[in-house]
Structure 1
Amino acid sequence: MSNLKLEEVDQPSGKQVRLKKLNCRLQHLLKLLRSTKRIEVDEKYLITALRLRTLSRHDKAGKHALQQLISTNTISKPLKKNGIRYWNVTILASHLEGTQCKVTL
């Protein structure tokens, strides 16, 4: 009986697994931002780079997940142009470096 409890404790929860994946994706985004020659990126670029569409089956567009990242200050706040959210690449990269891409529980 105690062995069963130990096995359950050792397995990470679904939320921990998603946060670990997201942390890896943020590291990948930081590498992309450092190598790009763009000045700005839009929300579609970030959703694609972070693969936010795969985090939840209820958020097919990935916009809710992106909004959660903004509201928790994991990524910096965007600029808006004609209703589309844009991020300055250098500001976003420095923000990610400052937070060291760490997502916590």
Structure 2
Amino acid sequence: MAALNATLSTTVGGIADIAAAAVAATGAGDTAPVGPGMFLLVINGGAASRTVTIATPGTVAGHAVADATLVVAAGKSGVIPLTNLFRGATGRAAITYDAVTSVTVAVITLGA
């Protein structure tokens, strides 16, 4: 798994080219920081939809929480918040993809 780094988007400067912050998704999956104001951007440049899964390692009242999935249509982009719900033993989210051809990802954090 590759460790994704967050790109800061400030309220003053923003991010003019958000796609430039994206890197190729890794076939073995990626990890990402989690917390308030963090989001995973998924850009699907392929001809088929792609499913992104983020593991939810915790439980609520002793019950497992289903992993989060995001289906990104061909040629489209999607965003999913990286909340503390996804924090694993390493302190990061574990992200997997059904395929990675033409898929790029970025972690965006909103700052002041």
* TM-score (norm: length of structure 2): 0.28
Q: Which protein has the bigger helix share? A: 1
Q: Which protein has the bigger strand share? A: 2
Which structure is higher in RCO with an 8 Å CA cutoff and minimum separation 6?
Answer: 2
Structure whose CA Rg is larger: 1
* TM-score (norm: length of structure 1): 0.30
